[in-house]
Structures are given as C-alpha cells and as structure tokens.
Chains A and B, each alone.
Chain A
C-alpha cells in the first residue's frame, strides 16, 4: 500500500518562473485553488474550493519551511484528513527547464483512523451479534 504520493514533472521554464507559480497566492489561485497564502514561515492559510459531500471545501494549511527558489513545504488538512499531512515541492534547475519533485505524505494518522474505524465497526457488529444471540438463547 503506497502511503505517500510522489509525482515528478518537468516544466520547460526557468526555475524562478516555476518558483513564483508555486509561492505566490495569485498564481496558486490560478492553477490550484483560491487561497490566502503568504511566503512566510508558520503562516497559516486556507485553500477554498466548492464544498462536496463529506468535504466542506476548506483545506487548512501552514507554511513549514521554504528555501527560495528550490523548496516549499506546507501542511495540508481537510476533508477526510483530520490530522495534518505534508505537501512538499522541490525544484531543480535543468539545462532547458525545471524538474519538480512533488510529494504528499504523512497519511499514517489517516490510515490509523480508518483502522480504528474498521475495528470499531466490526467490533460493534460482533457485539450486537453475540448480545442478540444471548438474548434469543434466554
């Protein structure tokens, strides 16, 4: 089971242009979602999108770390993700453009939450089965 999302991309643009696209509120709003991002360590911000069933459309984030123009890392929490997960962009200049290493990780809490829910779900079912049986056996 993959517990981390890793995506690599190449963009035929200089690193400064790609950096600006991932580190300014205006640019992020255009290709990702409307937001109140600021390139400041510990800045808390949100991405907002249309609410969907099971998701109020708000992603809570916090800038953890950045190093212009190569690295940006922020937390990502919303929808089914009750605990913050980690989004990281890493840029590397190449001869004719910019290489992006993207990752979204830290799903352990999310996975544990499902394990617990699964266990509790089955546990209750088991409990009902046995108590009904006991009742009927009386």
Chain B
C-alpha cells in the first residue's frame, strides 16, 4: 500500500521513529524499547506505516527485522558528506605541504 509521507510525519510517534533511525539502524525491539507509553504492537504498526510511505526500509535478518532510513532518498546527504571528506583530505594534504616548508 502506498501512503502519503506527509501524513506519515504528522504523527509524533512516527516522527520520533524517523529521528531514531536517522542516527542508526535498529531492529523493531530496539525501537519499541525507546517508547514507554506506546505498546510494541502500536510501534510495529507505525513502523509498517512508515515502510508503506517509502520513508524506511525493513530488512529481515534471520528472525530479526532491521529498520533503516530509505537511503536512496537521502543520496543528497551522502553526496554532501563525500564532498566534506574530499575537502578535509585536500586540506590535510595542504597541512603536510605547509609543515614541509
């Protein structure tokens, strides 16, 4: 089912799940543990909702289901991080030249 991503972020629990996954990949148990006042069943439902919205990916690894932010949609972020890495490598080469003067 395709769901509207706009509706997906209207819900605070779903926003929090996105926030958690922005920092690291987690399995469903780890995500549920972050919520004290939301049942595991409800969290699972919200995770499914986010998957249907195309915002997160769920991959099965044995009995565990791992969730991650849909990277394809975040390639712009990776491009920027690559640029920064190149920038610093270039600058640290300059530092080498500076020290050798």
Q: Does B33 contact A (CB under 8 A)?
A: no
A1-B77, A115-B74 given; A31·B91 CB < 8 A = yes
Q: Evaluate contact between B5 and A123: CB separation under 8 angstroms.
A: yes
Residue in chain A with minimal CB distance to B89: A7
A27 cross-chain contacts in B, Cβ below 8 A: 98
- Chain B residues whose C-beta falls within 8 Å of the C-beta of A107 in the assembled complex: 77, 81
- Chain B residues whose CB sits within 8 angstroms of the CB of A119 once the complex forms: 5-6, 8-9, 18, 55
A3 shortest CB reach to chain B, Å: 7
- For chain A, residues 92 to 107, give those with C-beta under 8 angstroms from any C-beta of chain B: 100, 102, 104, 107
- For B, the interface residue count at a CB cutoff of 8 angstroms equals 33
Question: Which chain B residues (18-39) contact chain A, with CB distance < 8 Å?
Answer: 18-19, 22-23
Cα distance A107–B82 when bound, in Å?
13
Cα(A123)–Cα(B4), bound, Å: 6
Q: How far is the CA of A102 from the CA of B4 in the complex (A)?
A: 41
Chain B nearest CB: distance from A119 CB in Å? 5
Interface residues on A, range: 35 or more
For window 50-101 of B, CB contacts with A under 8 Å fall at 54-55, 69, 71, 73-74, 76-78, 80-81, 84-85, 88-89, 91-92, 94-99
Q: Is the CB of B18 within 8 A of A115?
A: yes
Among A3, A18, A21, A118, the residue within 8 A (CB) of B73 is A118
Complex alpha-carbon distance, A58 and B91, angstroms: 16
Q: Which of A9-17, A35-43, A66-74 contacts B (4 or more CB under 8 A)?
A: A9-17
Whether the Cβ atoms of B99 and A21 lie closer than 8 Å is: yes
Given contacts A18-B99, A31-B95, A119-B18, list 6 more A-B pairs with CB under 8 A. A21-B99, A22-B95, A31-B94, A80-B80, A123-B7, A126-B6
24 contacts between A and B (CB under 8 A): A1-B78, A3-B81, A5-B84, A9-B96, A11-B95, A11-B99, A13-B99, A21-B95, A21-B98, A22-B95, A30-B94, A100-B92, A102-B88, A107-B77, A107-B81, A112-B19, A114-B74, A115-B69, A118-B74, A119-B6, A119-B9, A122-B6, A123-B7, A130-B4
